[in-house]
């Protein structure tokens, strides 16, 4: 007998990062909204990620490993979209963490019928600078929301197409995908709640974990975690505003103003840097993590 379709299909694209994948899956399974399926799609994984996923023994959790590594999350996401049965799609990067009310908050907005894409407040957790909030002001945000903060209607894929490969875009596929939705007239609605923690890489070691375990423990231990984090982010933002104007901040503000102007006129700012090759962002990221920088067109291999 076929199981009824879930409300949400959660997609986690992963590649040989079991140490952070465990925390990502745990943060899906502690959601207060339980009507979901989780597809963990390996991008040609060769570590023990498959065994980790199987250890959960939860009928909502599914694993599929692509036969070859594609070098980015686009191919795993597209495979997940082919398998997804939910009417809403939520993404979670394999080194990010959701707070327990993430799905409930975003589903409530989409169920209200006024949004095609819902997104929440995301906190960047970094070791080399103060943590900060990512709150894009759509529809003219200089940079679209992070994938881990977004949920969209399944029908969106039928209208705008799936994720493009890195060598097909000038920015990153996530940004290009959401820009495409925006320029197609889809409505983005901000959920004014902190529901996502995004962890910056702590080292050039691709497989290394960051502070995920520390923050997972805090979320479990502190009932008012989200409130305390938002308060701390607000204090830091206020202090930043009170500092003397710097050339760096002025440059950033001017750049963002130009980007907002372009986006408001249906122009993707990334398309204007035609002298820079497509896929350069992903190649630079791979190079920084000692991964094959030429991998949009061929399998990704760790350097020995």
- The residue ranking higher by pLDDT, 143 or 279, is 143
- The residue ranking higher by pLDDT, 11 or 279, is 11
Residue 25 is encoded by which pair of tokens? Answer: 């899956």
Fold adopted by 8-202+211-288: Spore Coat Polysaccharide Biosynthesis Protein SpsA; Chain A (3.90.550)
Q: What is the pLDDT of residues 129-170, one digit of tens each?
A: 889 999 999 888 888 999 999 999 999 999 999 999 988 988
pLDDT at 200 over 90: no
pLDDT level of residue 4 (50, 70, 90 thresholds):
confident
Evaluate if pTM is beyond 0.85. Answer: yes
pLDDT at 296 over 90: no
Least trusted range by pLDDT, from 27-41, 113-127, 247-261: 247-261
Say what the pLDDT of residue 63 is.
98
Phi first, then psi, for residue 190 (nearest 5°) are -80, 130
Whole-number CA gyration radius for the chain: 19
Give bridge partners of residue 40 from the DSSP assignment: 12, 63
Say what the pLDDT of residue 113 is.
86
Residue 126 is encoded by which pair of tokens? Answer: 């970094």
CA-closest candidate to residue 196, choices 142, 136, 146: 146
64 Cβ contact list (under 8 Å, min separation 6): 39, 40, 41, 42, 79, 80, 83
Say what the pLDDT of residue 241 is.
85
Highest average pLDDT, of 96-110, 135-149, 281-295, comes from: 96-110
Q: What is the pLDDT of residues 63-79, one digit of tens each?
A: 999 999 998 999 999 99
Compute the average pLDDT of residues 171-199: 95
Contact (CB, 8 A) for 83 and 13? no
pLDDT > 70: percent of the chain: 88
Say what the pLDDT of residue 240 is.
86
CA-closest candidate to residue 165, choices 92, 82, 89, 72: 72
In terms of C-beta density within 10 A (0-12 exposed, 13-18 middle, 19 or more buried), how is residue 139 classed? middle
């Amino acid at each position: 007998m076929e199981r009824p379709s879930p409300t949400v299909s959660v997609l986690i694209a992963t590649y040989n990062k079991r140490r952070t994948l465990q925390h990502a899956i745990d943060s899906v399974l502690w959601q207060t909204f339980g009507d979901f399926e989780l597809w963990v799609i390996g991008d040609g994984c060769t570590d023990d990620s498959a065994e980790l996923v199987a250890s959960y023994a939860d009928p909502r959790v599914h694993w599929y490993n692509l036969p070859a590594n594609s070098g980015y999350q686009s191919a795993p996401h597209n495979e997940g979209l082919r398998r997804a049965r939910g009417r809403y799609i939520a993404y979670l990067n394999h080194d990010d963490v959701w707070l327990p009310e993430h799905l409930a908050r975003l589903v409530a907005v989409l169920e209200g019928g006024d949004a095609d894409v819902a997104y929440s407040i995301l906190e960047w957790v970094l070791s080399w600078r103060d943590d900060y909030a990512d709150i894009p002001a759509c529809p003219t945000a200089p940079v679209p929301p992070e994938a881990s903060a977004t949920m969209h209607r399944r029908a969106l894929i039928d209208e705008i197409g799936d994720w493009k490969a890195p060598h097909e875009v000038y920015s990153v596929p996530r940004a290009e995908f959401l820009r495409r939705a925006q320029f197609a007239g889809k409505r983005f609605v901000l959920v004014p709640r902190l529901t996502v923690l995004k962890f910056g890489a702590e080292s050039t070691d691709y497989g290394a974990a960051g502070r995920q375990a520390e923050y997972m423990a805090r979320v479990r231990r502190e009932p008012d975690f989200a409130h305390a984090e938002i308060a701390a982010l607000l204090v830091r933002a206020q202090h930043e505003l009170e500092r003397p104007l710097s050339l760096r901040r002025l440059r950033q503000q001017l750049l963002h103003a130009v980007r907002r102007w372009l986006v408001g006129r249906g122009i993707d700012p990334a398309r204007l840097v035609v002298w820079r090759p497509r896929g350069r962002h992903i190649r630079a990221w791979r190079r920084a993590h000692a991964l094959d920088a030429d991998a949009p067109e061929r399998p990704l291999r760790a350097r020995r």
